[in-house]
């Protein structure tokens, strides 16, 4: 019998998906109910609800035709960028679940279906002859979402890269290289998008550009403010971009650089320390009822705001005082609060602009329907085995529940950390 990886390498499986190969399921507007305490089942149902419309329509080459493009009245040309937003952001969140190798039953069946869809979608999205060929070059936004797509592939290379036909791999490489037409950003978190694309190209065996890889990482690390937080450029922004972009992409890019050159190990170790502290802070943000502060821009990305906490959980590297079960409980409460709010999805199952329901005024001019799929980044712990402590440990109160119920907890303290981190030039 073939292993799962061998099965998905099969050219027959990939070829059978074709332009019109897979039947569309009717989209249910209700998240599947789960028994109290069955958090994983609930998270899987949320994943299916979010992902199915994007992946099925893209595989059928009908995403551009069927996905609505809701946006701010003053937004311009979102229709040329929103489809890559939806695909790249979704894949960066669900990739660890697609890569998980020890599922069974209904979850395994769903995962295998979605692996097929994702593999076929990578072909459709990067095929210049496809009606759903995505924009990797026009405007600045495609650099952002090429990076999220790259991050997704790097998070699940055994299912999202290794099994692809050589033709599809070359399409992806050419699409990623074409994003270099977008100038290297200089003054904010966008430096990480250029670095993320280059890190993927490095993994694909391509020659990278120092000005778009190491130089961008140097800039980002140079904006460290202290206590686990980075400025978004020279100044600190009180928003969630340390979690939407900065911390996760620094971790992933530095992990690739460390794989190729051991001299990057110290920088990765420093960044992991910072990310763990930021994750610890994020867990403390979640109130006893699952709400959290509405602060700063891009709040329509919903629980994607907790990507750093989710990633450190996935890495099984939470601070000792932050137990996996309390993180599971806290994130589940957040996800339920947001996903079950009326108006979160439209009648056809597409996400709508808002934070807790349909709140279009929260959509800045750079946000459209596809942007909203960054919420999937909060689902990273689904990449942990159902047998992992994160899922198996009994329910536990998270920090705010403990303190507001009168428990006697030790005081929180900042970490001591240097701002100076050396980033060598990659050996080419």
Question: Residue 37: its pLDDT value, please?
Answer: 59
pTM (predicted TM-score): 0.92
Contacts of 250 (CB under 8 A, 6+ apart): 192, 217, 220, 221, 271, 275
Three-state secondary structure along the chain? CCCHHHHHHCHHHHHCCCCCCCCCCCCCCCCCCCCCCCHHHHHHHHHHHHHHHHHHHHHCCCHHHHCCCCECCCCCCHHHCHHHHHHHHHHHHHHHHHHCCCCCHHHHHHHHHHHHHHHHHHHHHHCCCCCCCCCCCCCCHHHHHHHHHHHHHHHCHHHHCCCCCHHHHHHHHHHHHHHHHCCCCCCCCCHHHHHHHHHHHHHCCCCCCHHHCHHHHHHHHHCEEECCEECCCCCCCCCCHHHHHHHHHHHHHHHHHHHHCHHHHHHHHHHHHHHHHHHHHHHHHCCCCCCCCCCCCCHHHHHHHHHHHHHHHHCCCCCCCCCHHHHHHHHHHHHHHHHCCCCCECCCCCECCCCCCCCHHHCCCCCEHHHHHHHHHHHHHHHCCCCCHHHHCCCCCCHHHHHHCCCCCCCCCCCCCCCCCCCCCCCC
In a domain, 424, yes or no: no
Question: Residue 72: its pLDDT value, please?
Answer: 87
Task: List, in sequence order, every residue forming a beta bridge with 351; answer none if it has no partner.
Answer: 345
Closest CA to 233 of 220, 243, 217, 244: 220
Determine contact, residues 213/195, Cβ cutoff 8 Å: yes
Taking each helix axis from N to C end, the angle separating 191-203 and 214-222, rounded to the nearest 10 degrees, works out to: 140
Helix/strand number for the chain, H first, E second = 18, 2
Give residue 350's domain range.
44-404
Question: Residue 14: its pLDDT value, please?
Answer: 38
Domain holding 278: CATH number?
Answer: 1.50.10
In a domain, 117, yes or no: yes
In a domain, 11, yes or no: no
- 275 three-class SS: helix
In a domain, 231, yes or no: yes
In a domain, 19, yes or no: no
In a domain, 420, yes or no: no
- 226 three-class SS: strand
Phi, psi (rounded to 5 degrees) for 187 = -115, 10
User: What span, in angstroms and rounded, lies between the C-alpha atoms of 251 and 258?
Assistant: 10
Q: What is the mean pLDDT of each run of 10 residues along the chain (428 residues)?
A: 42 37 46 66 98 98 97 89 98 98 97 98 98 97 98 98 98 98 92 98 98 98 96 95 98 98 97 98 98 97 98 97 97 98 98 98 96 98 97 97 97 89 93
In a domain, 277, yes or no: yes
Tally of domains in the chain: 1
In a domain, 422, yes or no: no
Question: Residue 13: its pLDDT value, please?
Answer: 36
């Amino acid at each position: 019998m073939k292993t799962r990886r061998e099965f998905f390498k099969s050219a027959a499986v990939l070829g059978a998906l074709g332009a019109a190969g897979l039947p569309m399921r009717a989209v249910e507007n209700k998240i599947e109910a789960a028994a109290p305490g069955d958090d994983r089942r609930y998270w899987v149902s949320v994943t299916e609800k979010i992902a199915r419309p994007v992946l099925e329509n893209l595989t059928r080459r009908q995403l551009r035709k069927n996905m609505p493009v809701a946006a701010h009245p003053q937004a311009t040309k979102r229709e040329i960028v929103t489809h890559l937003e939806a695909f790249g952001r979704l894949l960066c969140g669900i990739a660890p679940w697609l890569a998980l190798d020890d599922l069974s039953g209904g979850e395994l069946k769903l995962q295998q279906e979605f692996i097929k869809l994702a593999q076929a979608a990578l072909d459709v999205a990067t095929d210049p002859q496809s009606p759903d060929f995505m924009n990797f070059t026009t405007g600045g936004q495609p650099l952002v979402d090429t990076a999220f797509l790259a991050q997704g592939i790097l998070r699940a290379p055994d299912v999202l890269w290794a099994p692809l036909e050589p033709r599809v791999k070359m399409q992806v490489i050419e699409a990623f290289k074409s994003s270099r037409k977008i100038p290297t950003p200089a003054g904010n978190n966008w430096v990480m998008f250029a670095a993320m694309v280059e890190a993927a190209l490095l993994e694909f065996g391509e020659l990278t550009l120092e000005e778009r890889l190491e130089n961008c990482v140097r800039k980002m690390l140079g904006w460290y403010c202290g206590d686990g937080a980075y400025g978004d450029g020279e100044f600190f922004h009180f928003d969630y971009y340390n979690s939407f972009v900065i911390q996760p992409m620094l971790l992933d890019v530095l992990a690739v650089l460390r794989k190729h050159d051991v001299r990057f190990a110290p920088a990765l170790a420093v960044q992991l320390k910072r990310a763990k502290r930021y994750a610890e802070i994020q867990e403390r943000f979640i109130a006893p009822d699952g709400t959290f502060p509405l602060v700063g821009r891009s709040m329509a990305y919903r629980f994607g705001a907790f990507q750093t906490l989710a990633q450190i959980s996935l890495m099984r590297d939470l601070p000792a005082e932050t137990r996996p079960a309390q993180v599971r409980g806290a994130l589940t409460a957040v996800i339920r609060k947001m996903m079950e709010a009326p108006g979160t999805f439209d009648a056809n199952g597409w996400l709508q602009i808002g934070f807790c329901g349909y709140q279009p005024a929260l959509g800045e001019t750079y946000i459209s329907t596809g942007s909203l799929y960054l919420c999937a980044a909060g689902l990273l712990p689904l990449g942990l085995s159902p047998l992992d402590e994160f899922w198996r440990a009994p329910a536990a109160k998270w920090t705010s529940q403990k303190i507001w119920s009168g428990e006697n907890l030790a005081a929180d303290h900042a970490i001591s950390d240097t701002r100076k981190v050396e980033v060598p030039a990659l050996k080419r």
